[in-house]
Amino acid sequence: MSEKQTGMPEKLWIKAGLTDSEYELLTSHMKREPNTVELALYAQMWSEHCGYTHTRPLFKHFLTTGPRIVQGPGENAGIVDIDDDEVLTFKLESHNHPSAIAPFQGAATGVGGIVRDILAMGAYPIASLNSLHFGHPGDAGHTRYLISEVVHGIGEYGNCLGVPTVGGELRFADAYKGNPLVNAMCVGYMKQSQIKKAIATGVGNSLMIVGNLTGRDGMGGASFASKDLDEQNEEDRGAIQVGDPFMEKLLIEACLEVFEKDYVVGVQDMGAAGILSSSVETASKAGNGVEIDVALVPKREAAMQPEEVMISESQERMLLIVKKGMEDQVNKIFHKWDLHAVVIGHVTDDGMYRVLEDGTTVGEVPVWSLMDAPTYILEGQEPAHLQQTRRFKNDDVAVPDDLNQVLLKLLGAPDICSKEWVYRQYDYRVQMNTVVKPGSDAAILRIKGRDKAVGVTMDSNGRYCYLNPRRGAQSIVAESARNQVVSGAEPIAITDGLNFGNPENPEVYYQLEQSIIGLSEACRALDTPVIGGNASLYNQTPEFGAIYPTPIIGMVGLVKSLKHVTTMEFKNEGDFILVVGETRDELGASEYLDQIHGLVAGDVPELDLELERKTQNFILDVIRQGLVSSAHDIGDGGMAVALAESCIMGEYGAEISLDLDLRSDALLFGESQTRFMLSAKGESAAKIIEIATAQGIEAANIGRVKSCKQLIINNFNEKLVDLRVTDCAQAFKSGFDKMMKTDV
């Protein structure tokens, strides 16, 4: 078909984000050339963001089933069983590119989108978390602006919505300077009988769009998120959605009321690619076709073209598959909440995806072809920088003379210092379920009316994965599980966010593949299946290059009794302080090496996944036996930072006596894996060590909790650290405010 016949400029598919070979493939599927409407459909559904073209072949590595898994990957969100016919649904999504261009709206609509994924499962959203990565805030005013706007956007949307923002993380590195990461997670609660699915069953059933009007905001967002950020991206501001949290609150209440009736057979959030992706996905799962008339879609802008209506990512919209004859009842409920509910099409039995405008067909393609995005298995190449970073030896750096100042600097470092500046902008108590607030190892939420709770965490470490993608990814899963068990929760399952650069670069593809393998190995070892997630690739800019490989783990755990809830702060004068796990002479990849010596080098600390599982089970067991006063994992900044944090939070001091033949900086600040810090009363401490010894787990009594508010750490009677806890607290609590240049 000629250019004149199609009405399409030559190679318009290139501008749409499709390659020549992809264009040839879709014409083969259609047995003709597409018109502009049909080309737009393929361009969005075959984008990396919707089609997972580079990541889908790698998902085969993941463990996705388990005794508590009710729904694995393939739906809007995964679902886990938490006993008593109750389930949790949770998911993680990225909004990186939008947040780089329009940080407030990008972050706000990221929250709104992930909340709707949870709503689409039939659940009430009970918690929100976020994982944010930026360049160093002290480097440039623009970075501080991005941080402020992103945090403001998350807080504004979540606070207005009435969903508590209970946890997350905030990390910094030059690698994120040109391309910040904004990943949002949401958790929902429901009875197992209330689960909804995204499926368009029942020929003749109606497709109803509910919620907000459709406009030109969010145009081409899926394809925008599937290419590198560059200086031309200001032109993509139209791909940034605009959120209305008050509208979303009404949408939540209206949908949940409709779900109580027997009106709806399927439901899908309108996220990436809007009406298009939501309707294609529901039709594909049912093996049916759909017919949609864009003239019926309620719009906020005039003269919208059919393809604009189909791919718009306007916020606060859902697609309902409604039983034929029940449309008026659905409309009455939404009208009560001042929302529209309009029939825009119906389910067909011919397997075709048909777009009409005022009854005239303007696009028609097979449903299966839109869902059959081509995938690419590439050849990875080990990054060249690893040859240099692996040469690092501890002897390459000198032990600082003043270890007190090192500890204070680490406590005020961007990745370690208190993030209260962030979470004081969030309403984390709304819904009145938050038992442990932000700032602890894990957020804990009670299940109303039950003697149980859930732990929720988000964790990452881009520096680890930059230096060793496979082991770094393993360590992130292990760290997230440690945060759960020290809080009294049994890790159940994860959702992952895969944030990487351009996968067409062999070094980036190597990082992606090795990270996924590492995640999979850790999840299998720790029995935390992957029940869903998100892939965000092409996170890079011409000026700053690719981000660190940054897989982000969102994890949920079950606290079987509220009596098991445990926190990190020291609680009783005279309690013994125990370290569980082996401290090795390891400085590679550490926060200490980065902050004090300016080196991102060395290898990630060794990790024995079998020992990790055994040790985590031990920690959870002694907590459930009531032997533990406080528990904290030893992570960023090593043992000295963990001790200082427990002192600061509990407003106690500690005197520690060690006998370890290690470099002083490795002993204090090394990040050896599978280590925990517990405090316990005398008889309990002895019992803990007895149980550990019987199981072949290393555990030692290293000191006592003191009321004097002094942190003293000795090794072979040499005083390494002697600091007032108030000085530690000042460094820890003011560090972030200083970076953001606010009053402290």
Active site residue 54: no
Interatomic CA distance for residues 338 and 161, integer angstroms: 16
Contacts of 596 (CB under 8 A, 6+ apart): 400, 406, 409, 410, 669
Distances (CA, A) of 704 to 521, 634, 650: 37, 17, 13
Q: Which residues of 381-406 are buried (b: 16+ CB within 10 A; e: fewer)?
A: eebeebeebeebebeebeebeebbeb
Pick the catalytic residue: 49, 54, 564, 632? 49
Q: Give the active site residue among 29, 54, 95, 142.
A: 95
Report the alpha-carbon distance of residue 727 to residue 737 in Å, rounded.
16
Integer CA distances (angstroms), 731 to 171, 653, 723, 739, in order: 17, 16, 12, 12
Question: Quick one: tokens of 643?
Answer: 């001790």
Residue type, 55: T
Strand bridging mode 653-658 / 710-715 = parallel
Tokens representing residue 497 in the block: 């966010």
CA distances to 5, 42, 276, 320 from 306, in Å:
19, 14, 11, 20
Neighbouring C-alpha atoms within 13 Å toward the C-beta of 397: 26
User: Is 346 part of the annotated catalytic residue set?
Assistant: no
Sequence-distant (6+) residues with CB within 8 A of 236 are: 97, 101, 220, 224
Angle at 296 between CA 291 and CA 302, to 5 degrees: 130
From 161, 165, 138, select the one nearest 151 (Cα to Cα).
165
For residue 456, give every residue at least 6 positions away whose Cβ sits within 8 Å of its Cβ, in sequence order, or none: 90, 127, 129, 166, 167, 185, 187, 442, 443, 444, 445, 554, 555, 556, 557
SS3 86: strand
Q: What is the 3-state secondary structure (H, E, C) of 662-719?
A: CCHHHHHHCCCCCCEEEEECHHHHHHHHHHHHHCCCCEEEEEEEECCCEEEEEECCEE
- Do 122 and 190 contact (CB within 8 A), yes or no? yes
As given in the structure block, the two tokens for residue 582 are 């082996």
DSSP states of 157-179 as a string? HHHHHT--EEEEEEEE-GGGSSS
The torsion angles phi and psi of 272, rounded to 5 degrees, stand at -60, 130
Number of CB atoms found within 10 A of residue 742's CB: 12
Distance CA(44)–CA(275), nearest Å, equals 11
Say how many residues make up the chain: 744
CB proximity list for 675: less than 8 A, separation 6 or greater:
579, 580, 581, 582, 583, 633, 634, 639
447 phi and psi angles, rounded to 5 deg: -95, 115
Q: Radius of gyration of the chain from Cα atoms?
A: 26
97 backbone dihedrals φ, ψ, rounded to 5°: -60, -45
Q: Are 268 and 76 in contact (CB under 8 A)?
A: yes
Rounded (to 5) percent helix, strand, coil in the chain: 40, 25, 35
Sheet-wide strand order for 69-71: 69-71, 78-81, 86-94, 181-191, 124-134, 165-172
Known catalytic residues are 49, 95
